[in-house]
Amino acid sequence: MAAVLHGDDHGHGHGGGFVENEVIYQETRDMRLLGFVLFLMSDVVLFSAFIFAYLYLRGTVPVWPPMMNGTQLPRLDVAFAAVNSIVLFGSGVTMHYALENWKHGKRGEFDFWMLSTIVLGTAFLGGQAYEYAHAQIGGWSGSIFGASFFTLTGMHGFHVFVGVVFLAVLWWQTKKGVYDETHHFGLTAGTLYWHFVDVIWVALFYLFYIF
């Protein structure tokens, strides 16, 4: 994925060749940015479809969480989820600083913030795995609540996992000289993707833990 996105092998040539390469880079960058934004929009449609399905299913039962075997299922652990959410949202902040430090040529600071983002994203996945192991909501097929929760948060967790791998590849690419301070589309795309998973989690946190 990152190999397709970076496209920053702009080549520091001389004279007209350099100017031509720079024009091509700027034009293709705009097209790649549009394509990436459309990809994120398609993901918004995907999550929206599942969210509306969850809201429909929720409206079919008189109480929520629903009953199972004559007993109402417990609500999810809001406090734990809030802490795990802070971890994920914090990673959005560290990713922002990583990109900004790269733009200003601060490689040491970039490494720190990029590694922090990857670590926080991994920590969020660990917290989600812990919650999955302890949530008493009937399992994936045991109840409407369980099916909805595990499907939507699992889909989001997969996106976070892909994002962690994506960022790790981008970090490796920075060590190989793929990007510089003015040619770093891959890092821009990685930042947009990471903010996307943050925004999606805001909706899911509200739906499953507060609403």
On whether the CB atoms of residues 164 and 128 are closer than 8 A, the answer is no
More confident residue, 22 or 54: 54
Q: What is the mean pLDDT of residues 177-191?
A: 93
Confidence of residue 163 (pLDDT cuts 50, 70, 90): very high
Tokens 């009937």, located at residue: 138
Q: What pLDDT does residue 182 have?
A: 87
Q: What is the mean pLDDT of residues 12-23?
A: 58
- Give the pair of three-digit tokens for residue 4: 């397709």
Q: Global pTM? A: 0.88
Q: Is the pLDDT of residue 161 over 60?
A: yes
What CATH homologous superfamily does 11-210 map to? Cytochrome c oxidase, subunit III, four-helix bundle (1.20.120.80)
CA atoms of 33 and 111, how far apart (whole Å) = 24
Is the sign of the CA dihedral 190, 203, 120, 163 positive or negative? negative
Highest mean pLDDT: which range of 18-32, 33-47, 61-75, 137-151: 33-47
Q: Is the pLDDT of residue 188 over 90?
A: yes
Contacts with 99 (C-beta within 8 Å, 6 or more apart), sequence order: 184, 187, 188, 191
Lowest mean pLDDT among 11-20, 56-65, 94-103, 183-192: 11-20
DSSP 15-49: HHHHHHHHHHHHHHHHHHHHHHHHHHHHHHHHHHH
Contacts with 142 (C-beta within 8 Å, 6 or more apart), sequence order: 68
Answer left, alpha or beta for residue 69, where phi above 0 means left and psi between -120 and 50 means alpha: left
Contacts with 188 (C-beta within 8 Å, 6 or more apart), sequence order: 33, 99
Q: Is the pLDDT of residue 16 over 90?
A: no
Residues 84-100: tens digit of each pLDDT: 999 999 999 999 999 99
What is the H or E stretch that residue 71 is in?
Answer: strand 71-72
Confidence of residue 20 (pLDDT cuts 50, 70, 90): low
On whether the CB atoms of residues 160 and 120 are closer than 8 A, the answer is no
Rounded percentage of the chain residues whose pLDDT exceeds 90: 75
Q: Is the pLDDT of residue 13 over 60?
A: no
Show the DSSP H helices in 68-207 as ranges: 78-103, 107-134, 139-142, 144-175, 185-205
Q: What pLDDT does residue 6 have?
A: 46
Q: What pLDDT does residue 7 have?
A: 47
* Helix 144-175 × helix 107-134 angle, to 10°: 160
Confidence of residue 14 (pLDDT cuts 50, 70, 90): very low
| Residue 169 backbone dihedrals phi, psi, to 5 degrees | -65, -40
Q: Is the pLDDT of residue 1 over 60?
A: no
Q: What is the mean pLDDT of residues 124-146?
A: 89
